[in-house]
Amino acid sequence: LSEKLQNAFDKLKGKGKLSEDDVKAALREVKLALLEADVNYKVVKGFISKIEERAVGHEVLDSLTPAQQVIKIVNEELTDLMGGTQSKISFASNPPTVIMMAGLQGAGKTTTVGKLAKQLKNQGKNPLLVAGDIYRPAAIKQLQVLGDRLDQPVFSMGDKQSPVDIAKAAINNAESNGHDVVIIDTAGRLHIDEELMDELKQIKSEVIPHEILLVVDAMTGQDAVNVAEEFDDALGVDGVVLTKLDGDARGGAALSISSVTGKPIKFVGTGEKLDNLEPFHPDRMSSRILGMGDVLSLIEKAEEQMDEERAKELEQKLREKKFTLEDFLDQLEQVRNMGPLDEILGMIPGAGKQLKNLNMDEKQLDYIEAIINSMTIEERRNPEIINGSRRRRIAAGSGTSVQQVNRLLKQFKQTKKMMDQLGDAQKGMAGKLKGK
């Protein structure tokens, strides 16, 4: 998808001013790209005509070139299409908050119960996990394993009681044991059928959950959209969890689901591990689809935090590949003000893998600062000259070990490599944004 859109924009880049025909031609390619990504046809049609209206119409800003304008509009509309702003779980004013999962078999409900419980626990909540899938043989055990791993209790009554009775008893249990959140796992089927829906509806009417989260598998593409529509029509859902986005799922599902159901995607599943649940950010997803990684949000964040002069200097250095240890330190400090390091670096396209090796602990920044401060200016600018005896001197001077100095130099080398790549990417971006 991204590559296709990229091509469409590349064609726009060469132009100073855009005619109506140019916009139309570009949007034709955007349309094809979206359809190819498995986006619902009706959604695409509405999307394209909305953009055409805006792009060809009156909305012209002096500060932007026509190409920038189209990118901005496509980006805004894609974001809008996916629900606009990020939406969260709404907690009951009178706990416990009851969250109920729904979805087809294998969509990832049980796994998501565990992931969600982990997140809530990290936020200081005390969730009770409820084993409400009494049909799939190993479902109860599966949830118990997750509960054990999280050290959170799992409420189960075996497979002899009805899911409705289990859910009701679980809420009583939560009330008497001080659980402020109850997460009910439910059964799925291979296909939607009346029995399944009736059971879910019955739970819904008896326990009145605060949140019904529909779990859908992104890998199923257009089917996921149909499933979401049917569940929402029959049961009514409050939000969607889109799982398996780590696979080679096409982005189409994310684009269509909220548009078709009018319900927000609240989380995305990005792997099988308990940590692999992320809040869904429509704006980030949109820029990712536009093939710019999270460059747009990175730029925004950077603009907020970095004073312009320094940003310009850095940009110049990135272009000339003159990134030094002094800049490294400077950057680390600025980045420290922006938020968690891994989150920031994770926004740089292609930085994900390198990031894992970087393993930068915020607490280490103090050491890094001490080490760099113990270097001569010459060493900061040409780290290649830092040989064994210099390493020993720097370690002694900074109160660290030679290993720590080595680790820093290795981190710097990796970061420099990444920055150089980013420099190249920025040249492309800058060109695109200036419409050159």
List residues binding Mg ion (CB under 5 A). Answer: 109-110, 133, 139
Q: What is the DSSP string of 92-128?
A: PSSSPEEEEEE--TTSSHHHHHHHHHHHHHHTT--EE
Task: Name the residue nearer to ligand GDP (CB basis): 110 or 404.
Answer: 110
Task: Name the residue nearer to ligand GDP (CB basis): 144 or 276.
Answer: 276
330 Cα distance to chain centroid = 27
Q: Choose from Mg ion, ligand GDP, none: what does 221 bind? Cβ within 5-8 Å by kind.
A: none
Q: Choose from ligand GDP, Mg ion, none: what does 247 bind? Cβ within 5-8 Å by kind.
A: ligand GDP
Q: Choose from ligand GDP, Mg ion, none: what does 40 bind? Cβ within 5-8 Å by kind.
A: none
220 makes contact with ligand GDP (CB under 6 A)? no
Smallest distance from the beta carbon of 159 to ligand GDP, in angstroms? 15
Q: Could you say which of 31, 244, 281, 288 contacts ligand GDP (CB under 6 A)?
A: 244
Q: Choose from ligand GDP, Mg ion, none: what does 105 bind? Cβ within 5-8 Å by kind.
A: ligand GDP
The residue written with tokens 């393993």 in the block is: 359
Which residue, among 53, 36, 35, 52, has the nearest Cα to 44 in the 3D structure?
35
**Stretch 175-204 residues interacting with ligand GDP (CB under 6 A):** 188
CB atoms within 10 A of CB 388: 8
d(CA 43, CA 251) in angstroms, rounded, equals: 13
Q: What is the DSSP string of 266-324?
A: EEEE-SSSTT-EEE--HHHHHHHHTTSTTHHHHHHHHHHHS-HHHHHHHHHHHHHT---
**Stretch 95-134 residues interacting with ligand GDP (CB under 6 A):** 103, 105-111
- Omega within 30 of 0 (cis) for the link into 96: yes
Strands 265-269 and 277-279: antiparallel
For residues 222-245, one letter each, b for 16 or more C-beta atoms within 10 angstroms of the residue's C-beta and e for the rest, the string is eebbbbbbebbebbebbbbbbbbb
Binding-site residues for GTP, in ranges, read 103-110, 185-189, 243-246
247 makes contact with ligand GDP (CB under 6 A)? yes
**Stretch 375-404 residues interacting with ligand GDP (CB under 6 A):** none
Please list, in sequence order, all residues whose beta carbon lies within 8 angstroms of the beta carbon of residue 409, skipping any fewer than 6 positions away: 383, 386
Smallest distance from the beta carbon of 149 to ligand GDP, in angstroms? 13
Q: Could you say which of 243, 286, 287, 404 contacts ligand GDP (CB under 6 A)?
A: 243
Using an 8 Å Cβ cutoff, are 267 and 241 in contact?
yes
Stretch that binds ligand GDP, among 4-12, 45-53, 244-252, 412-420 (CB under 6 A): 244-252
Smallest distance from the beta carbon of 378 to ligand GDP, in angstroms? 49
- List residues binding ligand GDP (CB under 6 A): 103, 105-111, 188, 215, 243-244, 246-247, 269-272, 276
